[in-house]
Structure 1
Amino acid sequence: MNLYTRCNSCKKDIRIKSSAPTRPELQMEKGEEFQVNCQNCGKIEKKHINDIKAEPNNKIILVGIGIGVLVTIILWNYFGAIGTVSVAIPILLWQQQMSATKTFNSYMIRRK
């Protein structure tokens, strides 16, 4: 999952580098408010933890599709049509990414 916020001056997305799966873990890592630097306009802004949004990481989903196709081809040669069950690999990765994104975006921290 990718974390981002929007710059108030140029309205471009600012990517947040963190591997925190939930908002409370991001808060423990970065604090309740932290500074972000817009790479487009160069402005430094202070953002609250609730201003951070998550979106699914499409690279992980594409890797899952690649692995699913490869495993399907290999299993098709050995087991026949039952090998198509491995099509579930990209579906499971997509479902995990969507669930993590929904969990992150739905939980908000109380503002002080």
Structure 2
Amino acid sequence: MRLYTCCIDCRRDISFYENAKDRYALAIIRGQSFELICENCDKLSYYHVNQIRMDQNKAITLGILSLLIGCAMGLIYYFWPQLTRAPIVLVIWGLIGMLGVLFLIYQEITTKHKSQVVYFNRRIYR
């Protein structure tokens, strides 16, 4: 997941990636306070885990979306001979159903990702 905090000096975002579901897991992995280097001003500073926020990773969302679109195109290509012989009403309903299922999968994954971001940002390490 993409984690970020704000630099003390230049106020730019410092981002890094870590696989932690909450701040407690982040404290186990990196410690209660850890140092980060700002890429803008090259200053090394210590940050407490409560200063860290989680953001949605757009690369994961785009990857899932492209995978589902590719899956839909692959299914249409595979079943094209059967689709051309079927009545048009069945073809339309089949395509709508397939796209609906793929959309529901996409929504479920993004909803889980958003709830994980909210869970991380609400939990405070004590």
Asked if Structure 1 and Structure 2 have the same fold, meaning a TM-score greater than 0.5 normalized by the shorter chain, the answer is: yes
Task: State how far apart, in whole Å, the 2-side matches of 1:86 and 1:71 are.
Answer: 9
Q: After TM superposition, give the deviation of residue 89 of structure 1 in Å.
A: 2.7
Q: Which residue number corresponds to residue 83 of structure 1?
A: 98
TM-score normalized with structure 1 length: 0.87
Relative distance call for 1:67 and 1:17 in structure 2 (3 A) is closer
Displacement of 1:73 after TM fit? 2.7
Aligned-CA RMSD value: 1.6
After superposition, the Cα gap between the structure-2 partners of 1:69 and 1:51, relative to the gap in structure 1 and judged at 3 Å, is same
Between the aligned partners of 2:70 and 2:105, the Cα distance in structure 1 is 11
CA distance in 1 between counterparts of 2:117 and 2:64 reads 17
Pairs aligned (count): 110
Deviation at 1:2, TM superposition (A): 0.7
Cα separation, 1, equivalents of 2:103 and 2:114: 18
Bigger mean CA offset, 37-46 vs 85-94: 85-94
**5+ long unaligned stretches in structure 1:** none
Give, in angstroms, the shift of residue 92 of structure 1.
Answer: 2.0
Question: Once the 2 structures are TM-superposed, how far is the Cα of residue 107 of structure 1 from its aligned partner?
Answer: 0.2
Which residues of 2 match residues 88-99 of structure 1 at below 5 A?
88-99=104-115
Deviates more, 1:83-92 or 1:50-59: 83-92
Separation (CA, whole Å) in 2 of partners of 1:94 and 1:17: 18
Q: What is the aligned partner in structure 2 of residue 11 from structure 1?
A: 11
Shift, 1:71, TM fit: 2.0
Name the structure with the higher helix share. 2
Structure 2, unaligned runs of 5 or more: 80-90
The aligned residue for residue 119 of structure 2 is 103
Query: Does 46-55 or 93-102 show the bigger shift?
Result: 93-102
The Cα shift of 1:96 comes to 1.8
Deviating more after overlay: 89-98 vs 21-30: 89-98
Letter of the structure 2 residue corresponding to residue 93 of structure 1: I
Q: TM-score, normalised by structure 2?
A: 0.78
Q: Distance in 1 between matches of 2:46 and 2:30?
A: 12
Identity %: 28
Judged with a 3 Å threshold, the aligned counterparts in structure 2 of structure 1 residues 87 and 73 are, in CA distance, closer, same or farther, namely: farther
